[in-house]
Amino acid sequence: MRIGTRGSDLALTQSRHVRGLLGGTDADIPLEVITTTGDRFLDVSLQRIGGKGVFTKELEEALLAGRVDLAVHSLKDLPTENPPGLLVAALLVREDPRDALVAARGLGLAALPSGSRVGTSSLRRRSQLLARRPDLTVEDLRGNVPTRLKRVEEGRYDAVVIAAAGLRRLGLADRITELIDEEIMLPAPGQGVLAIQTRADDEATIAAVRRLHDEAASAEATAERAFLAGLGGGCLVPVGARGRVMGDRLRLDGVVGHPTGRPVVRDAAVGAASDAAEIGRALAATVLAHGAREILAEVRSDEVFP
C-alpha cells in the first residue's frame, strides 16, 4: 500500500498519522511525495493560479495511474466532485475547525492596531476579517505553515491567520494568539477533516481505510460541501461553512462574503443529520436568493478555471 502526499511539513505529518492509524511503517506503507500546482507556484496568488484542485489534481492523477493506492488530503482542498474512478473512502475524526490568529506581541484580533498587516492567501478569511475589522491591511501570503509563522517573527506581517488544525497537528498550538470565534469567522467547508481518497474499484484499500471513517465528521462535512457545491463549488471562493452534529440533528451555518468585507450574506439551517446534503443545498439556495449570487459572480469574473 502506497500513500500519495504533498511534500509540506503539514502534509507529511498528516500522511504519517494516517499510516500510523493503519498500523503501518515506512517499510510496508511508504509515502510518495507528489508536487501539486499549488506547491509549484508559491510566489503567485491562488486566485491567479485559478481553477479547482490546485492542491489535489496531481495526487488524483497518481491514484488513477496506479502510482499510489491512497491519497491523504485536507478535505477543504478537495473539490466537491470526485474524478471518475475515484472516491473518498474515509473521513477522519475532525480536529478543531476554527481559524487561528498568530500575532506579534500576543495581540488578539480586537487589539490589533489600525492598519496592521495581516497575511492570508484565502479570500474567505480576507472577507470575514475585513467585515469585522475594515481598518486592517489584509495582504496575500502564500507558503507553508512554518514560512507564514516566520513572516510574523521577521516583522513583515503583524499577524497571520492559519487553520488551527494545522498548527495543532504540527505541535505548534502554543503559537496561537487567538482562536477566532465562529461568530466572526466561519471556517472553510471541511476544514479540520482529513480525507482518504482511493480508486473506486480498489476493494482491499477501501476496506483497510474504511474503519477509520467517522460518521459525525462525515455528516458535518457532507452538509458543508453540499452548501459549497450548491454555490458552484471551488475552494478559492469566499465561502465559509460550519456544520455541527447535535445528537440526531445538524445545524449548518454558512457565509458568502465579498473580498472587500462588504457585502456579507450569512444564514443557518437545521435538520436531521441524516439529511446533511439536503440541508447544505437548501442553505445554498437561501443565501443565493439573498445576495450571494451577485457576490460570487463578481468574484468569479476575475478567476480563471482551466
pLDDT of amino acid 54: 84
pLDDT of amino acid 134: 98
pLDDT of amino acid 233: 78
Q: How many CB atoms lie within 10 A of CB 125?
A: 25
Q: How far apart are CA 207 and CA 53, in angstroms?
A: 26
String of DSSP letters for 103-133:
EGGG--TTTSPTT-EEE-S-HHHHHHHHHH-
C-alpha cell recorded at residue 133: 475589522
Residues 18-39, mean pLDDT to the nearest whole number: 93
Q: How far apart are CA 80 and CA 92, in angstroms?
A: 17
Q: Is the pLDDT of residue 305 over 50?
A: no
Determine what percent of the chain is predicted with pLDDT higher than 90. 86
Helix (H, G, I), strand (E, B) or coil at 275: helix
Distance of CA 75 to the CA centre of its chain: 6
Quickly state the pLDDT bin for 28 (edges 50, 70, 90): very high
Q: Is the peptide bond before 83 cis (omega within 30 degrees of 0)?
A: no
Element counts in the chain: helices (H) and strands (E): 11, 13
Quickly state the pLDDT bin for 236 (edges 50, 70, 90): confident
pLDDT of amino acid 306: 33
By annotation, the residues acting in catalysis are 77
Sign of CA dihedral 258, 250, 209, 207: negative
Q: Which of 227, 210, 193 is nearest to 87 (CA)?
A: 210
Q: Contact at 8 Å (CB) between 292 and 233?
A: no
Q: What is the pLDDT of residues 110-155, one digit of tens each?
A: 999 999 999 998 999 999 999 999 999 999 998 889 999 999 999 9
**Cell 498500523, residue?**
23
pLDDT of amino acid 303: 54
Q: Give φ, ψ of 225 to 5 degrees.
A: -75, -30
pLDDT of amino acid 231: 96
What global pTM score does this model have?
0.93
Q: Is the pLDDT of residue 242 over 60?
A: yes
Sign of CA dihedral 121, 126, 129, 135: positive
Sign of CA dihedral 118, 35, 188, 123: positive
Q: Contact at 8 Å (CB) between 90 and 73?
A: no
Q: How far apart are CA 138 and CA 154, in angstroms?
A: 17
Q: Contact at 8 Å (CB) between 276 and 220?
A: yes
Name all domains of the chain by residue range, CATH numbers in brackets: 1-93+193-213 (3.40.190.10), 99-179 (3.40.190.10), 214-306 (3.30.160.40)
Determine what percent of the chain is predicted with pLDDT higher than 70. 94
Residues 281-302, mean pLDDT to the nearest whole number: 93
**Cell 503583524, residue?**
158
pLDDT of amino acid 37: 84
